[in-house]
Amino acid sequence: MRRGLPVSPGVAVGTAYCIDEIFVSPGTQRLRNQEIPAELAKYEAARDHAARDLISLEKKLAEQVGPDETAIFEAHRSILRDAAFNTTIPNWIVDERLAAQAALQKLLEQYTDVFARVEDEYLKDRLNDIRDVVLRINSHLSDPKDMNEDGVTGPLIVVADQLLPSQVVMLGDMEVNGIVTQAGSQTSHAAILARSRGIPAVSGVQDILRQINTGDTVVVDGKEGRVIIAPDAETRAAYLKLEREFFDFKDHLAENRDQPAITSDGVSLNLLANINSVTDAEAATAMGATGVGLFRTEYLYLTHPVVPGEEEQLREYVSIIEASPNHSVTIRTLDIGGDKTVPFMGHVHREANPFMGWRSIRLSFEHPGVFNSQLRAVMRAAAVAQEMGGDVRLMFPMITTLEEIRRVRGLVRKARKQLIEEGKTYADVRIGMMLEVPAAAISIGSMLSLVDFVSIGSNDLVQYLMAADRDNPKVSHLCQPLAPPVLRVLTDVIRTCTAAGKPLTLCGEMAGQPTAFTLLLGMGLRSFSMSPAFIPFIKEFARHITTKAAEQLLEHALTLTATGRIRRYMTDQLAHVVPDFDRFEIS
């Protein structure tokens, strides 16, 4: 048995499907002599197709955002002309009878070993470019949507080093019942994906890829953080029973979808959903959400080789609005950067500290044409929402200063003026800020007059407050929403916004965690946005809690000086109040 971080509750028993970082899964079968010419031709065709892709993308990007941002594709074309891709891989196909994908995998592993010994950060970043080229060639060797080329059947347990946002999109409609990753934390993208789909998951399991092979039977216990490989018959039967009980509990909770979200003392709550796609929006409706508190638009960009145009964005936003509960959606503008990079937006992945660098609203300001296109598409979609009786709000990520809000409002006015002059139908939207940066939290009082609403992005706020990368397993233990400094900052922000009468929502993952939810309730928060799968849990949980009790628990929690003491205190107290409290806990 291996242990890791419990990041999404529940139990799953299934067949392991191991994927590497770029989804090349070549297997070990050697080519027969008569297969070599066809495989060589297949590789050369894929390589040539990749080269044409890069030329086309470079041209399109130059037209959309200017020639200065096309250097990335020029660099990739240079890599593609290297002897490694034109001599070494063909030689391996012929001499070692390797399939093209196996040869690509071998090349990437060799480069990874070499760059692991390099200390220069700039040179280390060249591995990212090589990986991108390998991925592009591989995309023409197989259908990227058909990841399960090993023929593994039954419920799958995806095992990976980590799942980046672009890779999450590639999972598509696979029958994934569990997720295990070597890296990550409770707020990593693998964890967010798992919770949004109600999939049990464990992260931070070191070297698990060395111990699990595709096809192995695996148990994932997302509540206790356990991963069991090849369980014996008795253990497997016990966990299958727990798996059935978990699904039965979820099915029971799903029956409350049409019931109002209220506390035990009758206080109404607003339970919203965080979504990435139409599928998520449909899940939010099915789970009883009252609307979408966060639509992450960057996932539309992550699936495109170039900037999606205004009309394409409009269609996507309208489809999201149509599928969302009450046709009510808060749309966040592009939040690219950090661990979410796209080559057509520049060299964001080459920064020494990308999470605190050129990302989010800062990146949008540097690409006014791209930003303007998104603002126009949102305002046009808002008009469609009004016709449906719905509502669209516009939210901007990583706002740090008052000047940024003023600049945003000016750009919104400019986009509105353009639409009026062009005679295009639009609707005004309420403008909000994502509160993620400690500087903004400290000065929130001076910003409220310039925004219509505030959304707390607790995932980033916590990691910035604690100076700890939430996806780094060596420091992710510091990224705790129950940490005393986090609770104090959130208390101040919520009370400031409440006193000013400014609508406020928390849309980080802590909204779906019962202990954190209780403390937020005690702070005065009444609007929560979370992964759709958690809405029935929190709705049921809230029925056992009074606001007065939450306020008293918060008052005592704020006197405690250690995260562990706060967690133990809250767990002990809630266990006396909420029946079967352990079923609601994430960890």
DSSP helix/strand/coil, 479:
coil
Distance CA 319, CA 313 (A): 10
Distance CA 191, CA 202 (A): 8
Q: In what order do the strands lie in the sheet with 201-203?
A: 2-3, 226-229, 217-221, 11-18, 156-160, 176-181, 201-203, 5-8
Task: Please tell me the predicted confidence (pLDDT) of residue 263.
Answer: 97
Task: Please tell me the predicted confidence (pLDDT) of residue 23.
Answer: 45
Q: Which CATH architecture has domain 2-19+147-251?
A: 3-Layer(bba) Sandwich (3.50)
Q: What are phi and psi of 53, to 5 degrees?
A: -55, -50
Task: Please tell me the predicted confidence (pLDDT) of residue 22.
Answer: 42
Task: Please tell me the predicted confidence (pLDDT) of residue 436.
Answer: 95
Catalytic residue among 189, 327, 349, 367: 189
Q: How many residues does the chain have?
A: 587
- Enumerate the β-bridge partners of residue 158: 17, 179
- For Cα atoms 51, 55, 60, give the angle at the middle one, nearest 5 degrees: 145
Catalytic residue status for 189: yes
Distance CA 410, CA 278 (A): 30
Q: Which tokens belong to 291? A: 């609307």
**Two domains, one topology: 2-19+147-251 and 33-139:** no
Q: What are phi and psi of 385, to 5 degrees?
A: -60, -40
pTM, two decimal places: 0.73
Superfamily, domain 33-139 = PtsI, HPr-binding domain (1.10.274.10)
Catalytic residue status for 18: no
Task: Please tell me the predicted confidence (pLDDT) of residue 142.
Answer: 64
- Enumerate the β-bridge partners of residue 585: none
DSSP helix/strand/coil, 327:
helix
Distance CA 316, CA 312 (A): 6
Catalytic residue among 18, 479, 497, 507: 507
Q: Which tokens belong to 568? A: 């133990």
Divide the 587 residues of the chain into consecutive groups of 10 and give the mean pLDDT of each group.
Answer: 85 85 51 89 91 80 63 80 89 91 85 71 66 81 53 79 59 76 71 75 86 90 90 90 81 80 96 91 92 91 75 95 97 78 53 70 89 96 97 96 96 97 97 97 96 96 89 79 97 98 93 94 97 88 95 97 96 88 64
Q: What ranges do the domains of the chain cover? A: 2-19+147-251, 33-139
Task: Please tell me the predicted confidence (pLDDT) of residue 470.
Answer: 73
